[in-house]
Amino acid sequence: MVIQPTIIGNWKMYKTAAQAVEFIRALKTMIVNNSQVWLAVPFTAIHAAVKEAAGSDIVIGAQNMNSAKEGAFTGEIAGIMLKDAGAKFVLLGHSERRQHFHETNEQIAAKVKRALLDGITPVLCVGETESQRESGYEEVLKEQILEGFKHVEKEDADKVILAYEPVWAIGTGKTATPDIAEETQKYCRSVLAEHFGKRASNSMPILYGGSVKPETMSALMKEKDINGVLVGGASLDPKTFSQIVNFT
């Protein structure tokens, strides 16, 4: 089954609403590839980004959300609020959320469930540290995937996306070789098959994230089980990001 590539730019804690508008205005003129172009922008930039992206193929999403529908959770944001602002997807379980904010698989699973209930596409991020890679990454990834998607029913498998991001290759300049990335993502797909069945797993996009750059993009996208990328630092400049989007 051919899966249309999905390229997600994760801006992290960068760009004001005005800067987001300027970026999208420039990017719209540069996209020539037939990929799905998604941008995970800061909460404060969602509305402005959605307005500027209207009529284009650029989809706007968020970088996190709370697992509750609403409530007395000062400083948090609900999925229905993201949707109201125009967000279509949300990153969940990013390695920085796991590391710096100590999010657990159980908490992330609850967020995935809430995102689906609120009509937002959850992008579940999984990945191993360098020490976990060396000691055997399979069990780490299996637990993150099965726990993260444990509330997702088989019939909803087409509403979720998996993003594999080796923690040892994020912000370090290191990139998993295409062979390593493919081997790991093939394993991730086998875990998805165990949970959802082979047909559903074969149709689910699995993205690679880890210091993705224009010069590494073509080789990565030639691999069978890499259906797109999650881009961090290289997504902050429209020219550089467009080179990743226009990888063929």
**Catalytic residue numbers?**
94, 165
Hey, what are 144's tokens?
């993150």
CA distances from 39 to 58, 120, 129, 141 (A): 7, 14, 25, 25
Reference 63, options 29, 3, 103; nearest CA is 103
Residues 214 and 102: their CA atoms lie apart, in Å, by: 32
Beta carbons of 200 and 157 less than 8 angstroms apart = yes
The sign of the dihedral angle between the CA atoms of 109, 213, 243, 23 is: positive
Give the closest residue to 99 by CA, choosing from 165, 36, 7, 145. Answer: 165
Selection from 22, 82, 87 nearest residue 52 by Cα: 22
Task: Give the residue from 106, 100, 102, 46 showing the smallest Cα distance to 77.
Answer: 46
